[in-house]
């Protein structure tokens, strides 16, 4: 089916929905210049294995190695701007179509684009927590100095080591967020998956849960996923090109100018 027919079908599903949710992964932020750190092509694997360095064990064993690995990524996230796909989802939320964005990304770009109801399955770089006294520090007070000097971020109260509020390998997902995401997957009648290969738990299971509860699935991702056969619409294209087209169509169908 040509792309135009697919985007129209996706728009029709979203426009007719009562409770649509979006699920986004690393591919949603790559057009903003954020590398997918699980991908060997990202360049982040050349010096260190993130599965070791970016694990909770790696962090505790050698925090300097963790922060050395994080430094270029933190710089990219500090400077990154939302792309057209982030803006499209924020517009769909403002239009009352998308009720919630569930994301695997930690880069804050959905919030920067204006999305209000964001469930961050892997936490975010918005703040860091002291490993000693549990004080939280906003990253705006943290990243600029860290990116400039590379020195370990320390707690302003007790000088303990700060850990970004992101879920490292080997850590549990934030339970409240996970429960809310599963609840959204059960109650939604349409799920738009954008830029996720659906390979990592729980993102891999949320669309399954949604379809089991009767939701229609729209998949926009470069690569095929294990859910392609069960989706109502599958588009193997760039999210930043496709999502604005879908959003424009939804607005037309709903009479929003
Ligand atoms: Zn402290």
CA of 137 to the centre of ligand 1 (A): 9
Q: Are strands 123-130 and 98-103 parallel, antiparallel or unpaired?
A: unpaired
What is d(CA 106, CA 26) in angstroms, rounded to the nearest whole number? 9
CA of 170 to the centre of ligand 1 (A): 23
pTM: predicted TM-score of the whole model, two decimal places: 0.93
CA of 154 to the centre of ligand 1 (A): 8
CA of 56 to the centre of ligand 1 (A): 18
CA of 148 to the centre of ligand 1 (A): 22
**Sign of the four-CA dihedral 20, 192, 103, 3:** negative
What is d(CA 28, CA 17) in angstroms, rounded to the nearest whole number? 23
CA of 53 to the centre of ligand 1 (A): 23
The closest alpha carbon to 236, from 29, 35, 2, belongs to 2
CA of 135 to the centre of ligand 1 (A): 5
The CB density around residue 244, as the number of other CB atoms within 10 Å, is 17
**Residue 122 annotated in active site:** yes
Residue in 28, 86, 110, 122 annotated catalytic? 122
Residue in the block written with tokens 């390979």: 199
The whole-number pLDDT of residue 51 equals 77
What is d(CA 86, CA 81) in angstroms, rounded to the nearest whole number? 9
CA of 50 to the centre of ligand 1 (A): 26
The closest alpha carbon to 146, from 134, 131, 164, belongs to 164
Quick check: helix, strand or coil at residue 38? coil
The whole-number pLDDT of residue 54 equals 85
What is d(CA 44, CA 58) in angstroms, rounded to the nearest whole number? 16
Q: Which two tokens stand for residue 58?
A: 């790696």
The CB density around residue 205, as the number of other CB atoms within 10 Å, is 14
The whole-number pLDDT of residue 37 equals 62
Strands, sheet with 123-130, edge to edge from the N-terminal-most edge strand: 136-138, 123-130, 162-166
What is the full per-residue pLDDT of the chain (257 aa) written as tens digits? 468 999 999 999 999 999 999 999 999 999 999 877 666 556 555 666 777 888 999 999 999 999 998 898 888 888 999 999 999 999 999 999 999 999 999 999 999 999 999 999 999 999 999 999 999 999 888 889 999 999 999 999 999 999 999 999 899 999 999 999 999 999 999 999 999 999 888 888 999 999 999 999 999 999 999 999 999 999 999 999 999 999 999 999 999 87
On whether the CB atoms of residues 131 and 160 are closer than 8 A, the answer is yes
């Amino acid at each position: 089916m040509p792309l135009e027919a697919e985007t129209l079908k996706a728009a029709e599903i979203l426009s007719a929905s009562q409770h649509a949710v979006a699920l986004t992964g690393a591919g949603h932020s790559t057009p903003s210049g954020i590398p997918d750190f699980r991908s060997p092509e990202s360049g982040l694997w050349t010096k260190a294995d993130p599965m070791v360095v970016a694990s909770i064990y790696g962090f505790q064993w050698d925090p300097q190695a963790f922060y050395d690995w994080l430094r270029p990524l933190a710089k990219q996230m500090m400077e990154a701007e939302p792309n057209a796909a982030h803006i499209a989802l924020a517009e769909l939320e403002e239009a009352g179509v998308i009720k919630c964005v569930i994301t695997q990304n930690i880069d804050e770009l959905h919030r920067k684009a204006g999305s209000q109801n964001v469930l961050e399955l892997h936490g975010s770089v918005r703040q860091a927590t002291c490993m000693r006294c549990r004080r939280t520090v906003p990253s705006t007070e943290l990243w600029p100095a860290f990116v400039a000097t590379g020195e370990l971020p320390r707690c302003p109260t007790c000088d303990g080591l700060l850990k970004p509020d992101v879920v490292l390998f080997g850590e549990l997902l934030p339970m409240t967020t996970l429960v809310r995401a599963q609840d959204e997957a059960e109650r939604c009648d349409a799920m738009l998956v954008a830029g996720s290969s659906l390979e990592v738990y729980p993102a891999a299971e949320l669309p399954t849960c949604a379809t089991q509860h009767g939701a229609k699935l729209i998949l926009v991702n470069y690569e095929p996923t294990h859910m392609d056969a069960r989706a109502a619409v599958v588009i193997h294209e760039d999210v930043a090109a496709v999502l604005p087209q879908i959003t424009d169509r939804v607005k037309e169908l709903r009479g929003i100018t």
